[in-house]
Amino acid sequence: MPYVPTITTMIRLDHSHAVSAFHRYGSETAWWRKRAIVTSVCRALEIHAQLEEEFFYPALARIAPTDEILKKSQSEHDQLREIIAKLRGMGPENAAYDSLFMELMRDTLHHVADEETKLLPLAERALGPELRTLGAQMMRRRMQLLGEHPVEMAVNTAGTFPVATAVVATVLACGVARLVRGNRHARAA
């Protein structure tokens, strides 16, 4: 059976990805890269929020229906969506773009801190083996959601993480070249 990460591991990985992307943004960043970073982060946050709302929050609500952090999480997601909509309605040439993205960053980091210090440990204590089942469900749904925007995701990931993208492309190209050489040798034999 293939390894399936727990839902809490997947959430932490999403948080790490967002924080890493945030660190690539600066006021002096080229406009095209700002747009790639913002678009990538916004789509990732939307998918992350949807996945939490579909899988993680309902599981937590069963075990801790009165938890205050859990109660405010949905409204925080809604607030992030409002900022994302504003960012999508403007471009890097707008004077408010940088400050609005910084607001998204601050709000996201505050939300992440609550989840990492309160909700994820609560889930790990209370949900046990269900964490892997939820992780598998979340992974399947993530693939569906990512599949709705493949070109956007690829282009903006390349603009956000150009070195990593180049490394992955090189590794893939080397693998393809090796396969082609292997097939030629197999046919010649």
Hey, what are 61's tokens?
Answer: 């609500």
**Per-residue pLDDT at 53:** 97
Mean pLDDT by 10 residues, the chain (189 residues): 87 94 91 92 96 97 95 95 96 93 97 96 95 95 87 68 57 60 63
**Per-residue pLDDT at 146:** 87
**Per-residue pLDDT at 140:** 94
**Per-residue pLDDT at 99:** 95
- Cα distance from N-terminal residue to C-terminal residue, the chain: 36
* 94: DSSP letter: S
**Per-residue pLDDT at 4:** 85
**Per-residue pLDDT at 108:** 97
Mention every residue, 6+ apart, whose C-beta is less than 8 A from residue 47: 142, 145, 146
Give pTM, 2 decimals. Answer: 0.80
